[in-house]
Structure 1
Amino acid sequence: MSVLRMLYLLLAVWGAIHPMYYFVQWFQENGWDIMAMVDAWHVNVAASGLVWDLTISAIALTIWIIAEVTTRRNWGALIAIPATFCIGVSCGLPLYLFLRSAPVR
């Protein structure tokens, strides 16, 4: 495995674990109510701006993944889409780059 692929994989794992730590901590303190978390994301205009920035990035990444997967026929790389929306762009993007950079058979 190349150094670059290993870096992508490490970033994907970090991008999954680090944000989840904060999400789980928030849920433990405030209850497991997803709508309460969405409300917390919009507590002020700076937070709302960040939410929209990440949402637009996630949509752009999803479009790119779908376009590339249909061209390259690498159907397994579609797993990066739920990773993006269930965990975050910090996991989905490096995961897709890891999967995309696999050697061609």
Structure 2
Amino acid sequence: MSVSRMIYLALAIWGAIHPMYYFVQWFQENGWDIMAMVDAWHANAASSGLVWDLTIAVIALTFWIIVEVATRRNLGALIAIPATFCIGVSCGLPLYLFLRSAPVR
């Protein structure tokens, strides 16, 4: 495995674990109410800006993955879409780069 693939994989794992630590901590302190978390994301203009920044990034990444999968016929790379929506761009993007950089058979 190339160095770049190992880095992508490490970033995908880090991007899955690190943000989840904070999400779980928040849920434990405030209850397991997803709508309360969404409200917290919009607590001020700065956090709302970050939410919209990430929302646009998720849409762009999803579109890119779909176009690339249609072109390259690498259906396994579609797993990066639910990873992006369920975990975040910090996991989905490096996971897709890891999958995309696999040697061509």
Tell whether the structures are fold-level matches, with TM greater than 0.5: yes
Aligned to 1:101: 101
Structure 2's unaligned 5+ residue stretches are none
After TM superposition, give the deviation of residue 43 of structure 1 in Å. 0.1
- Unpaired runs of at least 5, structure 1: none
Q: Give the superposition deviation at 1:61.
A: 0.2
Partner of 2:19: 19
Runs of 4+ in 1 over 4 A off after TM superposition: none
Provide the identity percentage. Answer: 88
Matched AA of 1:17: I
2: distance between equivalents of 1:37 and 1:82? 20
Match of 2:75?
75
Deviation at 1:23, TM superposition (A): 0.3
Distance in 2 between the 1:78 and 1:30 partners? 33
Query: Normalized against structure 1, the TM-score is what?
Result: 0.99
Match of 1:40 in 2: 40
Question: What's 1:9 paired with?
Answer: 9
2:33 aligned with 1:30, yes or no? no
Q: Does residue 49 of structure 2 align to residue 49 of structure 1?
A: yes
Letter in 2 for 1:76: G
For residues 51 and 35 of structure 2, the distance between their equivalents in structure 1, rounded to whole angstroms, comes to: 14
Query: d(CA) in 2 for partners of 1:27 and 1:78?
Result: 29
Deviation at 1:92, TM superposition (A): 0.2
* Other structure's SS at 2:102 match: coil
